[in-house]
Structures are given as structure tokens and as C-alpha cells.
A and B are shown apart, each in its own frame.
Chain A
Amino acid sequence: AQTVTQSQPEMSVQEAETVTLSCTYDTSESDYYLFWYKQPPSRQMILVIRQEAYKQQNATENRFSVNFQKAAKSFSLKISDSQLGDAAMYFCAYRSLTGANSKLTFGKGITLSVRP
């Protein structure tokens, strides 16, 4: 079974600075997908960024980028030029590509606060 680990429960960043959120996972599969979701106080789960494991190039979405290290099974999220609206809980998630296991496996999440 796959597991996703987010070992930092909380992080804080100064507005306009850069912050990196860590995520590691464990799997025996070679083909899968990785996601970062953001959950603001409204509790809506919003997709931030996604990565296909077979692609070596790191995904980027505006101020958000990932550092995907497949051999190390690491998938960190970097937020550049942090904004007050980035304050939220962030979840790392894994989805298998093979078999009938179509569900997302989530980490426990990390609470990010942004200091003005």
C-alpha cells in the first residue's frame, strides 16, 4: 500500500518570501501521479499543482513549483513570492495509475501561515 508523509505540521513564511513544503511517499509502483492540494479556511479542497511520475521535468504553475525526486520518493512544493492568500492547509497526495486503485492517498497536511 502507498503511504504519503508530511512530517512538518506547521510552517510560517514572511509575505513575499519563498517557502518549501516537504512531502515523501512510499510506493513500489513506477507510474503514478502526485498532487498538492490547498485547503483554505473555507475548507474547499483546491488543486494547486500536479506531476506525472514518468515526466522528469518539474511541474510549475505561476508562483508554485515542485521538486520531484523520483528515486528519493520526494515531492516538495515551493511557493515563491508568498501572499497572504496562500495561508492554508496544504496536502500532498498520491494516485496510482495501475489497477483498480483509483483513490487518492493523502498526507496529514501542513498548515502554512503567512506573516504580513
Chain B
Amino acid sequence: ETGVTQTPRHLVMGMTNKKSLKCEQHLGHNAMYWYKQSAKKPLELMFVYNFKEQTENNSVPSRFSPECPNSSHLFLHLHTLQPEDSALYLCASSQVQGGRGIGGNTIYFGEGSWLTVV
């Protein structure tokens, strides 16, 4: 248990569906992230939110729409996805910058949400 919870753990959706992934952190952090991990590909950073504001969008297609209503919750809204979007989606959280002192600078991950697009 890392303090970062992702739901659902598994999701199967059709290409015309609309679904959402949810992430919640209980660590008092103020930065949250979405990563994508495909088979045989390195981890890809998708989005970064600092204090609820998006600070990075790593050229992610618009069919992925993030939402960060507060520092504890992060959503990834999915619509009209493609089969190649099937992957493990990892949420993570941290302090934005903890200064010197390793604890404040560690990024903690959830267990991931497996997405299959059919």
C-alpha cells in the first residue's frame, strides 16, 4: 500500500465508449502524474499537475482528457480510443519540490489501471 489508489484496476472498453480512470492519493502531496506503460515500450509521462494546475502535457492525443479537481484526486477521461491505446496507466504523486531531504522528493505510484480497447 503506497497511499496512491487507482480505480478501476482493469477496464475493457469499446472504441466508441467513454470511460474514466480515477486516482486518489492520501499522502498530502501536491503534484500528480499520469504515466502510460505499453508492452515493450518505456514508461511515457502523459500529464503533470502541480497544485491542481496542469504543467505538462507530453503531446498526448485529445482523446485522453485529464482532470484534477483538487490535489488529492486525478482523473483520466477516455473517449474514442484506439486499440493501440491498450496499456497500463500508472498514476503517481509527490511533493512539487520538497527541497533537500529525500522524503519530499520521492514519487509514489499506484497499482495501475489495465486498459484494453476492443
Contact = CB atoms under 8 A, between A and B. Distances in A.
Contact of B107 (A31, A42, A95): A95
Interface residues of B, number: 28
Contacts of A108: 42
Interface of B: 2, 31, 33, 37, 42-43, 45, 48, 50, 55-56, 88, 90, 92, 94, 96-97, 99-100, 102, 105-109, 111-112, 114
A100 B55 contact: yes
A95 B37 CA distance: 19
Contact of B97 (A42, A50, A54, A102): A102
Q: How large is the interface on A (under 10, 10 to 19, 20 to 34, 35 or more residues)?
A: 20 to 34
A45 interface: yes
B111 A33 contact: no
A35 interface: yes
